[in-house]
Amino acid sequence: MSTLSIGGQQLDASWFLLLSAILFVLGAVGVLVRRNPLVILISIELMLNAANLALVTFSRQLQNIEGQLFALMSMTVAAAEAVVGLAILVDIFRARDVEDVDDLSELRG
């Protein structure tokens, strides 16, 4: 039974999962194709959001609150990741002008 009764209408749970998959894939394209480190971080946020949608969908389908709790946890982790990632980025940009993540391929400071 994959249909969810929402507002008196039947919506299929797989529609939500499909939207989640599409957004995750778009985020993956952004991470792989884009070269601006800031845009890569933004794409990671997009992927995390897509995963959250899948979690909440399954939570609703099973009527089990744990999926939503996990979505909240993943939001916390995403916020921490954004803070640390942006701090590292600002530190790098202060040292030099980076247009391309490939400019950062060496391991020296």
Asked if residue 104 binds another protein (CB under 8 A), the reply is no
User: Residue written as tokens 């959001």?
Assistant: 49
Dihedral of the alpha carbons of 35, 36, 38, 41, in degrees to the nearest 10: 0
Within positions 37 to 76, which residues make up the interface with another protein, using CB under 8 A? 38-39, 41-43, 45-46, 49, 52-53, 56-57, 59-66, 68-69, 71-73, 75-76
Q: How many residues does the chain have?
A: 109
Calpha distance 78→28 (Å, rounded): 16
Q: Which of 23, 96, 108, 109 binds another protein (CB under 8 A)?
A: 23
Which of residues 6 and 107 has its CB atom nearest to another protein in the complex? 6
